[in-house]
Amino acid sequence: MQIGLVGLGKMGGNMRDRLRNAGHTVIGYDTDPEKSDVASLADLVNQLQAPRTVWVMVPAGGPTQHVIDQLAGLLKPYDTVVDGGNSRWTDDEKHAEELSKRGIGFVDAGVSGGVWGLKNGYALMVGGEKETVDRLLPIFEALKPEGPYGFVHAGRVGAGHFAKMVHNGIEYAMMQAYAEGWELLEAVDSVDNVREVFRSWQEGTVIRSWLLDLAVNALDEDEHLEGLRGYAQDSGEGRWTVEAAIDNSVPLPAITASLFSRFASRQDDSPQMKMIAALRNQFGGHAVESAKKA
């Protein structure tokens, strides 16, 4: 299958490689000419055969809106735009309506997998009309992990990004729990090998997970996380999850507390946030801030 891919950063570039490894033809465009296969969005569209599919992997908000506005003027009826970034689900509804006026289909795809997706595959949560989603199944099959899991048609437009938002909210709470446990272990005199305690949990325990594996990786690189500042950003999806919970009268105490803990990390050098920052770097390649030397 042939597909255009806009945005060739840490995830987009690896997705291009995974699709090509599966035998698909990918024409990529990025504002960085060294990464791009073509000189412009217009060139990308012109090289695709109808009906065209263009997958957008750029930051949510203004950048995504800008790309979709451009594609709306370049694509034709029966073409499809896939937004694979971390857009808010309400933006999906707006984009779908704008594109449908021109006969262009729209699919929102929540994508999880970070910098490990090229090797392990990407978990995909997709929203859109069944006919459009079904046409793109070869692309989804190539991107997802091997086996029966890792892809879901979650519902109508917006459902994919809503599901990914909730996924990220759960991720916030899980990372917070590991971070709190790690800080408590580091604080007591009786435990003198915290890293190996974490490693021992990787098999046979009810809290084993990929995030735990990544925590061990981070501790192998810096046993006491002394090189990191206790500061962790939030992508915005944690905030949206809490807002959606309020709108729907659903209590989310753990997720809400984990979000507020990130806000607290910006006020002082939080030990817990060193672990959160390390985990975000491990799975997503997110930037970390180095500890200031005295």
Options 101, 119, 171, 223, the catalytic residue: 171
Q: Which CATH fold would you assign to the domain 2-155?
A: Rossmann fold (3.40.50)
State residue 293's pLDDT score. 52
Options 10, 97, 144, 164, the catalytic residue: 164
* pTM for this prediction: 0.87
The residues spanned by each domain of the chain are: 2-155, 165-265
Q: Tell me, yes or no, if 171 is annotated catalytic.
A: yes
Q: Tell me, yes or no, if 76 is annotated catalytic.
A: no
Domain 2-155 identical in fold to domain 165-265 = no
pLDDT at 286 over 80: no
Q: What percent of the chain has pLDDT over 70?
A: 97
174-183 pLDDT tens trace: 999 999 999 9
Q: Does domain 165-265 have CATH number 1.10.1040.10?
A: yes
Q: What percent of the chain has pLDDT over 90?
A: 83
83-130 pLDDT tens trace: 999 999 999 999 999 999 999 999 999 999 888 899 999 999 999 999
State residue 294's pLDDT score. 44
236-270 pLDDT tens trace: 889 999 999 999 999 999 999 999 988 877 766 77
SS3 per-residue string spanning the chain: CEEEEECCCHHHHHHHHHHHHCCCEEEEECCCCCCCCCCCHHHHHHHCCCCCEEEECCCCCHHHHHHHHHHHHHCCCCCEEEECCCCCHHHHHHHHHHHHCCCCEEEEEEEECHHHHHHHCCEEEEECCHHHHHHCHHHHHHHCCCCCCCEEEEECCCHHHHHHHHHHHHHHHHHHHHHHHHHHHHHCCCCCCHHHHHHHCCCCCCCCCHHHHHHHHHHHHCCCCCCECCCCCCCCHHHHHHHHHHHCCCCCHHHHHHHHHHHHHCCCCCHHHHHHHHHHHHHHCCCCCECCCC
